C-alpha cells in the first residue's frame, strides 16, 4: 500500500474507532457547524457585491455622502466583514475548538507514547 | 478653484515626469543594492542549519505566526498588487478597486477551510495532503504537475514585470530590450542565490523584510497624499475627478463601476471567481503554512496576513486616487512603464527622488521576494513529490532529496530567466489572474474534497485536477487574450472562440463537477482507516510534523 508511510506513523491508534467516538464527532460538528455556514455566507455576500458591481452600475453610483457612493461603501464593507469574520473565527476556535482538540490529541499522544515504550522494552 | 490651480501647476511637471525620474536613477540603484546587501547577510546567517528536508523546505517549522503572516503578506503583495492595483485605480477608478477586494476576501477561504487542516496533515507540499488517503503515485504526480504549472505562470508574470519596471526605475528606455533583459537575468541570478543558500528560512526572511519596507513605504505615501487633501477621502476623490475632467477623461464616472469591465461584466464575474477561490489553492501560499510549529500558529499566520494585506489594499485605494489626482491618467499612460508607473510617479511627485528611489527599490525587492518563494515551492514539489516519492519510490538516500531540490532551483531559475525574457512586455495582471484561475480550477476542488468529503476517491481527484488544469489551459489558449484581439499575445492570428479573458467561471465549476463524477463512477474505494486517520489528524493535530530542534 502506497499509503503505509502515513498509516505507520501512529500505528497503535484505532483511528476508525476514534473517528466514531462521541468526543471526536462533537469536535467535528463544532468545526463544521461554524466553518460551512460562515464560508457560504461570505461567498454569497461577496458574489452579491460582484454581481452588483458588474451589472447594477446605476445603483452602485448613487451618492450617499460626499463622494462616497453605494459601490465604495459596499466595497469597504467587504473589508469590514473580512476583518470581522477573521476575529469571530479566531475567538470561536480559541474558545470552542482548541480545548476539544487538545483533549483528544493529548489522549492519543499518550497512547502512541506508551505503545512506543512497550515496543522498546520488548 | 484652488484645487484646479494646484492641478494646473502639477500638469506641466507631469509631462516631463518620465524624464525627471531618469535623472536620479542612481538613487534607486543604491537603495536596491542596500536591500540586496542586507538580505544577503540575513540569508547567509539563516543558512547555517539547512541540512535536512524539514530545514530546507519548511525552515525547521520554527517561524511564529506573526513572522509567517508577515512573510505571507510579503509573498502575496506582489508587484501586480502594489503597482498593478494602484495603477488600475488611478486609470480606471472604481474598477481597479474591485481587484483588491477579491484578493482580500479570498483569505477567508484559506482561514476557514484550508490552513489549519493542511498544516496538521501535510509535511512539505500540497501533494502531501492530497495524496494522504488516496493512491500515492498518481495523485502526487497530478498534484506536482498542477503545482509546477501554477508556479510557472506566476513566475512568468513576476519576471515579465521585472523587465517592464526597469524602463521606469533605472531610467532605461522602453525600447531598450537588451537592458531590460539584463535586469531580468540579474533578478533571476539573485533569486537563485537566495534560494540555493537560504532555503525556506532565507526566503522567508527576505519576504518579511520586503513586506515591512513595502507596507511602511505605502503607509508614508498614503499619509502624505491624505494630508495634501485635508485627510478627507472624499476631497481626494474630488481632486481625481477634477484632474480627469481637465484631461477630458471619464470625470465623475471614475468613481463609479464600469470603466474597465463595463462592456464585459461576465469577464469580471469570471475573474472574481478565480480570485476568491484561487488564493487558498496557490502552492506557494500553502507551503508557507508548514513553516510554523502548530496549526494554531498557522491560524495566527492567516490572521496577520489578512490584517496586513487588508490594510495595504486600503492604502492602494488612497494611492490610486492620489495618482489620478496629482498626475492624471494621460501622464501615467505616457510614462515608461504605463499603468505600472502610477505608484512610482506618485512617490516622485509627493516625495521627490528619495521617496521614488525607496519605492522603486521596494518594487524590485518585491519581485525578488515573490520569485524566491515560487522557486522554492516548485523545487520542493519536484524533489519531494516527483523525485523522492515517484522516481525512487519513497526511499531516497539521505541528503539526496535536498540535493535534488537545490539542483531544481538552478533549473527553475534558468527557465524563469528565459521565460521572463520571452514574456517581457506581456500584461502582468493577466498572467497573475491566469495563475489564480489555474490554481482554483486544478487544486481547490481536490483540496476541499479530500479534507471534507469522506467518499472522495483517487479517480475523482485525478479527473478534477487534470480536468480543471486542462479546461483552464484550453480556454485560455482560445481566449481573446491569446489571439484575435488588438492586445493579444499573438498579434495577427485569430483562433479564438472562447469569449472571456478568464476561464474561471467555466473551469472551476467543471473541476468540482469532475471531482464528484469521478468519485461516484469509481469502482474502487479508498481505505476507510486512512480516511479516519486523516480526519482525526486534521482536526486534532495528532501526529502532525513537529518543529525541528537545533
* Structural domains in chain B plus CATH codes: 2-422 (1.20.1730.10)
Q: B257 contacts in A (CB within 8 Å)?
A: 53-54, 57, 60-61, 71
Q: How far apart are CA B449 and CA B336, in angstroms?
A: 46
Which of A49, A69, A101 is the closest to B540 by Cβ? A101
Mean per-residue pLDDT of chain B: 86
Q: How far is CA B529 from the centre of its chain?
A: 37
Which grid coordinates belong to B387?
Answer: 523525485
- Chain-chain contact of A71 with B237 (C-beta, under 8 angstroms): no
Residue B19: pLDDT band by 50, 70, 90 thresholds?
A: low
**Contact flag A16-B266 (C-beta cutoff 8 Å):** no
pLDDT in tens, B433-472: 889 999 999 999 999 999 999 999 999 999 999 999 999 9
Does pLDDT of A79 surpass 90? Answer: yes
| Helical segments of B424-503, H only | 428-442, 444-452, 458-477
Task: Check residue B410 and give its pLDDT.
Answer: 93
Q: Which residue has the higher pLDDT, B308 or B362?
A: B308
| pLDDT over threshold 80, residue B28 | no
CA distance B37 to B501: 40
B18, pLDDT greater than 70: no
**Angle ∠(A90,A95,A96) on CA atoms, nearest 5:** 100
pLDDT tens-digit profile of B462-511? 999 999 999 999 998 898 888 777 777 777 777 888 888 889 999 999 99
Please report which confidence band the pLDDT of residue B259 belongs to, taking 50, 70 and 90 as the band edges. Answer: confident
Residue B471's nearest CA partner among B432, B431, B498, B433 is B498
Task: Say what the ipTM of the complex is.
Answer: 0.90
Please judge whether B105 and A82 are an interchain contact, meaning their C-beta atoms are less than 8 angstroms apart: yes
Top residue of B3, B100, B108, B298 to mutate, by most chain A CBs within 10 Å, is: B108
pLDDT at A122: 58
Residue B523 has pLDDT above 70, yes or no: yes
- Compute the nearest-CA separation of A54 from chain B (Å): 5
Tell me, what's the pLDDT at A37? 97
- Say which residue, A121 or B270, is predicted with more confidence: B270
Interchain pair B234, A65: CB under 8 A: yes
Highest mean pLDDT: which range of B162-166, B377-381, B389-393, B513-517: B513-517
Is A93 within 8 Å of chain B by CB? Answer: yes
Q: Is the pLDDT of residue B225 over 70?
A: yes
Q: Nearest CA to CA, how far is B267 from chain A (Å)?
A: 9
Give the three-state DSSP class for B550.
Answer: coil
Q: Check residue B467 and report its DSSP letter.
A: H
With beta carbons less than 8 A apart as the criterion, state whether A10 and B543 touch: yes
Contact call for B307 and A9, based on CB within 8 A:
no
Confidence at residue A3, expressed as pLDDT on a 0 to 100 scale: 41
Residue A117 has pLDDT above 90, yes or no: no
Please tell me the distance from the alpha carbon of residue B402 to that of residue B199, in angstroms, as a whole number. 10
Rounded Cα distance, B365 and B352, in Å: 20
Decide if B310 and A79 are in contact by the 8 Å CB cutoff.
Answer: yes
pLDDT of residue A7: 44
For residue B15, pLDDT beyond 50: no
Lowest mean pLDDT of B279-293, B378-392, B419-433, B509-523, name the range. Answer: B419-433
Count the Cβ atoms, other than its own, within 10 Å of residue B266.
14
Q: Hey, is the C-beta of A77 within 8 angstroms of any chain B C-beta? A: no
Are the beta carbons of A50 and B265 separated by less than 8 Å? no
Residue of A7, A49, A72, A91 to mutate for B, most B C-beta atoms under 10 A: A72
Cα–Cα dist B165/B16, whole Å: 18
Contacts with B, A 1-40, CB within 8 Å: 1-3, 5-7, 9-10, 13, 15-16, 18-19, 24, 27-28, 31-32, 35, 38-39
Residues in chain A with CB shorter than 8 Å from the CB of B124 are none
Find out whether B405 and B384 touch, Cβ atoms under 8 Å: yes
The answer to whether the Cβ–Cβ distance between A54 and B527 falls below 8 Å is no
pLDDT score recorded for residue B138: 93
Q: How much helix, strand and coil, in percent to the nearest 5, is found in chain A?
A: 85, 5, 10
Best mutation target among B251, B533, B537, B545 (most A Cβ atoms within 10 Å) is: B533
pLDDT (0 to 100) of residue B3: 43
Q: State residue B182's pLDDT score.
A: 84
Task: Give whichever of B83-87, B182-186, B533-537 has the largest mean pLDDT.
Answer: B533-537
Question: Cβ(B278)–Cβ(B114) under 8 Å?
Answer: no
pLDDT band at B424; cut points 50, 70, 90: confident
Amino acid B2: pLDDT:
42
State the virtual CA torsion across B326, B487, B371, B418 in degrees, nearest 10: -130
Q: Tell me what pLDDT residue B12 has.
A: 45
Higher pLDDT, B397 or B549: B397
In this predicted structure, the answer to whether residue A27 has a pLDDT above a threshold of 60 is yes
B113 contact residues in A (CB cutoff 8 A): 35, 39
Weakest-pLDDT range from A62-71, B17-26, B186-195:
B17-26
- In DSSP terms, A68 is beta-bridged to A65
Per-residue model confidence (pLDDT) at position B16: 56
The count of CB pairs under 8 A between chains A and B is 164
Q: Which of B120, B453, B532, B544 to mutate to test the interface with A (most CBs of A within 10 A)?
A: B532
Amino acid at each position: 500500500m502506497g499509503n503505509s508511510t502515513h498509516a505507520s506513523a501512529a500505528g497503535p491508534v484505532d483511528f476508525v474507532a476514534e473517528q466514531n467516538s462521541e468526543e471526536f464527532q462533537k469536535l467535528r460538528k463544532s468545526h463544521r457547524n461554524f466553518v460551512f455556514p460562515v464560508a457560504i455566507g461570505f461567498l454569497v455576500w461577496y458574489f452579491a457585491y460582484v454581481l452588483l458591481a458588474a451589472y447594477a452600475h446605476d445603483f452602485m453610483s448613487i451618492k450617499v455622502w460626499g463622494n462616497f457612493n453605494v459601490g465604495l461603501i459596499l466595497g469597504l464593507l467587504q473589508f469590514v466583514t473580512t476583518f470581522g469574520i477573521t476575529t469571530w473565527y479566531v475567538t470561536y476556535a480559541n474558545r470552542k475548538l482548541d480545548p476539544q482538540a487538545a483533549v483528544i490529541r493529548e489522549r492519543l499522544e499518550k497512547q502512541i507514547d506508551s505503545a512506543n515504550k512497550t515496543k522498546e522494552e520488548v | 478653484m484652488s484645487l484646479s490651480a494646484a492641478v494646473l501647476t502639477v500638469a506641466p511637471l507631469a509631462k516631463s515626469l518620465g524624464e525627471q525620474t531618469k535623472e536620479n536613477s542612481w538613487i534607486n540603484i543604491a537603495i536596491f543594492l542596500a536591500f540586496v546587501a542586507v538580505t544577503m547577510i540575513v540569508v547567509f546567517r539563516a543558512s547555517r542549519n539547512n541540512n535536512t528536508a524539514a530545514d530546507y523546505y519548511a525552515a525547521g517549522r520554527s517561524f511564529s505566526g506573526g513572522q509567517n503572516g508577515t512573510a505571507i503578506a510579503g509573498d502575496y503583495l506582489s508587484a501586480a498588487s502594489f503597482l498593478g492595483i494602484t495603477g488600475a485605480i488611478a486609470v480606471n477608478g472604481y474598477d481597479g478597486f474591485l481587484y483588491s477586494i477579491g484578493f482580500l476576501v479570498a483569505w477567508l477561504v484559506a482561514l476557514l477551510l484550508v490552513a489549519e487542516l493542511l498544516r496538521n496533515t501535510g509535511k512539505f507540499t500540497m501533494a502531501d495532503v492530497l495524496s494522504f488517503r488516496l493512491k500515492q503515485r498518481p495523485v502526487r504526480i497530478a498534484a506536482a504537475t498542477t503545482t509546477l504549472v501554477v508556479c510557472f505562470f506566476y513566475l512568468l508574470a513576476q519576471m515579465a514585470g521585472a523587465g517592464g519596471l526597469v524602463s521606469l526605475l533605472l531610467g532605461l528606455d522602453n525600447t531598450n530590450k537588451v537592458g531590460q533583459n539584463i535586469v531580468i537575468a540579474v533578478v533571476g541570478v539573485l533569486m537563485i542565490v537566495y534560494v540555493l543558500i537560504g532555503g525556506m528560512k532565507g526566503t522567508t526572511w527576505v519576504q518579511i523584510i520586503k513586506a515591512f519596507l513595502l507596507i511602511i513605504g505605502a503607509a508614508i505615501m498614503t499619509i502624505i497624499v491624505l494630508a495634501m487633501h485635508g485627510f478627507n477621502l472624499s476631497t481626494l476623490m474630488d481632486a481625481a475627478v477634477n484632474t480627469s475632467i481637465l484631461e477630458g477623461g471619464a470625470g465623475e464616472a471614475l468613481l463609479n463601476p464600469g470603466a474597465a469591465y463595463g462592456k464585459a461584466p461576465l469577464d469580471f464575474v469570471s475573474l472574481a471567481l478565480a480570485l476568491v477561490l484561487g488564493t487558498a489553492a496557490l502552492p506557494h501560499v500553502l507551503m508557507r503554512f508548514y513553516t510554523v510549529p502548530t496549526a494554531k500558529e498557522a491560524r495566527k499566520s492567516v490572521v496577520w496576513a489578512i490584517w496586513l494585506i487588508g490594510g495595504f489594499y486600503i492604502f492602494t485605494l488612497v494611492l490610486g486616487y492620489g495618482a489620478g489626482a496629482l498626475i492624471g491618467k494621460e501622464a501615467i499612460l505616457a510614462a515608461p512603464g504605463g499603468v505600472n508607473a502610477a505608484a512610482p510617479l506618485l512617490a516622485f511627485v509627493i516625495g521627490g527622488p528619495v521617496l521614488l528611489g525607496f519605492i522603486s527599490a521596494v518594487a524590485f525587492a518585491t519581485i525578488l521576494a515573490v520569485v524566491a518563494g515560487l522557486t522554492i515551492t516548485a523545487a520542493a514539489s519536484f524533489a519531494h513529490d516527483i523525485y523522492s516519492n515517484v522516481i525512487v519510490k519513497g526511499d531516497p538516500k539521505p541528503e539526496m532529496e535536498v540535493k535534488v531540490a537545490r539542483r531544481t532551483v538552478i533549473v527553475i531559475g534558468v527557465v524563469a530567466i528565459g521565460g521572463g525574457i520571452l514574456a517581457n512586455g506581456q500584461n502582468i495582471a493577466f498572467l497573475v489572474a491566469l495563475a489564480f484561475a489555474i490554481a482554483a480550477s486544478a487544486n481547490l476542488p481536490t483540496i476541499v474534497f479530500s479534507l471534507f468529503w469522506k467518499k472522495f476517491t483517487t479517480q475523482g481527484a485525478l479527473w478534477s485536477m487534470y480536468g480543471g488544469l486542462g479546461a483552464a489551459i484550453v480556454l485560455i489558449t482560445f481566449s481573446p487574450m491569446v489571439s484575435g484581439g488588438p492586445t493579444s499575445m499573438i498579434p495577427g492570428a485569430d483562433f479564438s472562440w472562447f469569449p472571456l479573458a478568464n476561464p474561471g467561471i467555466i473551469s472551476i465549476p467543471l473541476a468540482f463537477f469532475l471531482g464528484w463524477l469521478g468519485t461516484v463512477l469509481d469502482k474502487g474505494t479508498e481505505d476507510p482507516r486512512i480516511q479516519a486517520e486523516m480526519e482525526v489528524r486534521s482536526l486534532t493535530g495528532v501526529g502532525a510534523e513537529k518543529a525541528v530542534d537545533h
